[in-house]
Amino acid sequence: ILNVEQSPQSLHVQEGDSTNFTCSFPSSNFYALHWYRWETAKSPEALFVMTLNGDEKKKGRISATLNTKEGYSYLYIKGSQPEDSATYLCAGTGGFKTIFGAGTRLFVKA
Amino acid sequence: DGGITQSPKYLFRKEGQNVTLSCEQNLNHDAMYWYRQDPGQGLRLIYYSQIVNDFQKGDIAEGYSVSREKKESFPLTVTSAQKNPTAFYLCASSPSEYHWDEQFFGPGTRLTVL
């Protein structure tokens, strides 16, 4: 895994909106994909780790999917709340390395 | 309360000085990591250690040094050889030595070189 790209860089939504963002990674030599949530003034916290093509994980209103053949993962937030405001990091592991993307900064306005 | 602590939260250094950032974990994790974050970039790996008394260079190890004399401690020294040390530094640990394992992060240290 050489590079992990996240888009968009930032996102502003209204409370109640559903939203999604993308993590792209080279599909060769892939082993695992991680999503972390990083709230301001706190430590990053793990949301999901996925390894299999077609994996879907869910935690409350947040879910994620993984496509290892085309090299992308989507993170979905249903009915965004102000407390969802954070930076969402993805990290790809392959070839004994873990590479982090630059993150998507989500702002949810009440 | 199990977790990872980093100290200090903010650190100021004069050019030419070495400085050591502390990282301690009481999670009994095998592996520990040091990352650097610069604006607009992802976390970049400086050093990692999968076991006591062993550590490996990451992608940007030049100008940094580490030690792992105890399982719970992984201090990072930023030396005067590091040309652009002003950044946010994050320490992390994971339960096993496998790179795909979930990582647990500390609160970070912001280093500013004056």
Q: Quick one: which of B49, B74, B77 has its CA closest to B63?
A: B77
Q: How many CB atoms lie under 10 A from the CB of residue A14? A: 10
For residues B38 and B17, is the Cβ–Cβ distance under 8 A?
Answer: no
Put simply, the answer to whether B99 touches A98 (Cβ < 8 Å) is yes
A101: pLDDT strictly greater than 60: yes
Residue A72 CB burial class (10 angstroms; 0-12, 13-18, ≥19) = middle
In chain A, what residues touch B44 (CB-CB under 8 Å)? Answer: 100
Question: Mind listing the pLDDT tens digit for each residue in A36-45?
Answer: 999 998 999 9
B114: pLDDT strictly greater than 90: no
The fraction of chain B above a pLDDT of 70, given in percent, is: 98
Residue A108 CB burial class (10 angstroms; 0-12, 13-18, ≥19) = buried
Helix, strand, coil percent values for chain A (each to nearest 5): 5, 55, 40
Chain centre to alpha carbon of residue A41: 19
Residue B109: per-residue pLDDT: 96
B101: pLDDT strictly greater than 60: yes
A2: pLDDT strictly greater than 70: no
Average pLDDT (A80-97) is: 92
Residue B39: per-residue pLDDT: 87
Distance between CA atoms of B77 and B67, rounded to whole angstroms? 9
Q: Quick one: which of A60, A52, A56, A98 has its CA closest to A74?
A: A56
Interface of A with B (CB under 8 A): 4, 9, 31-32, 34, 36, 42-46, 49, 51, 89, 91, 93, 96-103
Distance between CA atoms of A66 and A53, rounded to whole angstroms? 6
Distance between CA atoms of B102 and A105, rounded to whole angstroms? 21
Residue B91 neighbours by CB under 8 Å, 6+ apart: B4, B6, B21, B23, B32, B33, B34, B35, B74, B76, B105, B106, B108
Residue of A nearest to B42 (CA): A102
For residues B108 and A43, is the Cβ–Cβ distance under 8 A?
Answer: yes
User: How close is the nearest chain A Cα to the Cα of B42, in Å?
Assistant: 4
Q: Give me the amino acid identity at B56.
A: Q
Q: Quick one: which of B59, B36, B57, B37 has its CA closest to B48?
A: B57
Distance between CA atoms of A76 and A48, rounded to whole angstroms? 12
In chain B, what residues touch A51 (CB-CB under 8 Å)? Answer: 100
Q: What's chain B's average pLDDT? A: 93
Residue B1: per-residue pLDDT: 61
